Amino acid sequence: MNSETKIIDEKLQGTPFMVDSKNSTNKKLFLESYGCQMNFADSEIVASILMDKGYSTTDKFEDADVIFLNTCAIRENAELRVRNRLNDFKKAKKNNPKLLVGVLGCMAERLKSQFLEQEKLVDIVVGPDAYRDLPGLIEEAEDGHKAINVILSKEETYADLTPVRLGSNGVNAYISIMRGCDNMCSFCVVPFTRGRERSRDPESIVAEAKDLFEKGYREVTLLGQNVDSYLYTGGGLKKETLTEEQKASAVSFAQLLERVALIDPLLRVRYSTSHPKDMTDDVLEMVAKYHNICNYIHLPVQSGSSRILEMMNRGYTREWYLERMAAINRIIPGCGISTDIITGFCSETEEDHQQTISLMKSIQFDYAYMFSYSERPKTLAERKYPDDVTAEVKSRRLAEIVELQRTNSGIKTALGLGKVHEVLVEGFSKKSDDMLMGRNPQNTVVVFPKGNYKKGDYVNVMVTKCTTSTLIGEAV
């Protein structure tokens, strides 16, 4: 997963987007997204549904007829941020009593009608599987009713809808390949907010990627909570009950990767998130086989202690994870690796924490997203285990792993010195319009003088300098 665009609530949040409407009514939508890439991809579906109804978007909520927040519930902080943001809209609502405020996404799904009771300001509550119902729900709210649809679906994949690319640089795009999650990690709210896992028709995925390529995009990221578990069986058949024959005709994640890679060698393919318990060698071999499938894997470990992993219900041990890492290094030498780590999970001892530290030291991740455990209502952990690591201990342990990761990132980035990297240009560098920025396949940011190159070009860059996270060089 792409280190700057994997949008967990602590990173980027609250990004409003603007696009012009296809057919004009003068209704304006202000749409702000929180949470992970999947939520951002969902906002592109929401925009598509509403623009079909004549809405255009605005980046000033004061000008909007409808405000939607697409929310995240992964940690308590994520929810607090949304509640604070709702306060900002109070004055706008006073000035314009017709203004509608809606909450979409995971927090809407988690709180359901409670939201309407707790937050008087909110008129509309819509869960992740009910976006097709948005136009009708807006009409209901316009008639003065509180409108809600939080029904989760076993089939909905929005496969037939063409997302409206919001805030896009015209080079990278997300494609949602599956929805929901069946894993039930004990700390995680996602199975409750996104429902059962289902895979999207591969034909529609390939068609979407082709269309993007034809429009000039050069990189797609295939999204799912656990992409290794992707399996398209056609008639909505359950994975567990497939006959051998049905299994043979189903499309696996490795096969899907190949189909997307074959669209064009100039289309880079990324994917996220991989799950250590399901990541098989056939996926790794497919990555190795095609130059345009990036040598980069986001493989969340969560903890280095097998005892904690067991309590987390992750389905693997420390040894299993290390074996998967060895397989990556064997099949895709030089592969970029990032991870997610939760610190201070229920009953985590100093020794468990040291096991996470030692795992980080031995693997040396290129990048890591690190979080303090946040207890979530209804999860297995909330029901079964006391949240007994104190806030002080959580933050001290978090600081230790963040510090170690900073050192590791620096070491890993410096390994790129003196080498030529294939960079896909995404735009100007943050610091200067004389410099371009892009990424190498391992997902490290590379900056170089622009010369005659432009967005969407592939450029070979000889790296001569670096910071802890950025490579700097010149085109060769």
Which structure tokens are listed for 41? Answer: 């991809």
Shortest distance in whole angstroms from residue 185 CB to ligand SF4: 3
Q: Does 199 bind ligand SF4 (CB under 6 A)?
A: no
Q: How many residues bind ligand SAH (CB under 6 A)?
A: 17
Residue 11 or residue 330: which is nearer to ligand F3S going by CB? 11
Q: Does 283 bind ligand SF4 (CB under 6 A)?
A: no
Q: Does 188 bind ligand SF4 (CB under 6 A)?
A: yes
Q: Does 45 bind ligand F3S (CB under 6 A)?
A: no
374 binds, among ligand F3S, ligand SF4, ligand SAH, none (CB under 5 to 8 A by kind): ligand SAH
Binder of ligand F3S out of 19, 38, 220, 459 (CB under 6 A): 38
Residue 111 or residue 188: which is nearer to ligand SAH going by CB? 188
Q: Does 338 bind ligand SF4 (CB under 6 A)?
A: no
Binder of ligand F3S out of 1, 36, 99, 171 (CB under 6 A): 36
376 binds, among ligand SAH, ligand F3S, ligand SF4, none (CB under 5 to 8 A by kind): ligand SAH
Q: Return the residues of window 175-214 that contact ligand SAH according to CB under 6 A.
A: 187-188, 190
Q: How many residues bind ligand SF4 (CB under 6 A)?
A: 10
Q: Which residue is nearest to ligand F3S (CB)?
A: 35
193 binds, among ligand SAH, ligand SF4, ligand F3S, none (CB under 5 to 8 A by kind): ligand F3S
3-class SS letters over the chain: CCCCCCCCCCCCCCEECCCCCCCCCCCEEEEEECCCHHHHHHHHHHHHHHHHCCCEECCCHHHCCEEEEEECCCCHHHHHHHHHHHHHCHHHHHHCCCCEEEEEHHHHHHHCCHHHHHCCCCCEEECCCCHHHHHHHHHHHHCCCCEEECCCCCCCCCCCCCCCCCCCCCCEEEEECEECCCCCCCCCCHHHHHCCCEECCHHHHHHHHHHHHHCCCCEEEEECCCHHHCEECCCCCCHHHCCHHHHHHCEEHHHHHHHHHCCCCCCEEEEECCCCCCCCHHHHHHHHHCCCECCEEECCCECCCHHHHHHCCCCCCHHHHHHHHHHHHHHCCCCEEEEEEEECCCCCCHHHHHHHHHHHHHHCCCEEEEEECCCCCCCHHHHHCCCCCCHHHHHHHHHHHHHHHHHHHHHHHHCCCCCEEEEEEEEECCCCCCEEEEECCCCCEEEEECCCCCCCCEEEEEEEEECCCEEEEEEC
106 binds, among ligand F3S, ligand SAH, ligand SF4, none (CB under 5 to 8 A by kind): ligand F3S
Half-sphere exposure in the Cβ direction for 458 (13 Å, CA): 13
Lookup result for tokens 């929805």: 179
Shortest distance in whole angstroms from residue 314 CB to ligand SAH: 8
Q: Does 336 bind ligand F3S (CB under 6 A)?
A: no
191 binds, among ligand SAH, ligand SF4, ligand F3S, none (CB under 5 to 8 A by kind): ligand SF4
Nearest alpha carbon to residue 99 among 43, 142, 51: 142
Shortest distance in whole angstroms from residue 123 CB to ligand SF4: 29
Q: Does 221 bind ligand SF4 (CB under 6 A)?
A: no
Which structure tokens are listed for 205? Answer: 């995925």
Q: How many residues bind ligand F3S (CB under 6 A)?
A: 13
Q: Return the residues of window 163-222 that contact ligand F3S according to CB under 6 A.
A: 189-190, 193-194
Shortest distance in whole angstroms from residue 140 CB to ligand SF4: 31
Binder of ligand SAH out of 340, 348, 352, 426 (CB under 6 A): 340
Would you tell me which residues interact with ligand F3S (CB under 6 A)? 35-36, 38-39, 72-74, 105-106, 189-190, 193-194
Would you tell me which residues interact with ligand SAH (CB under 6 A)? 74-75, 187-188, 190, 225-226, 273, 275, 300, 302, 340, 342, 371, 373-374, 376
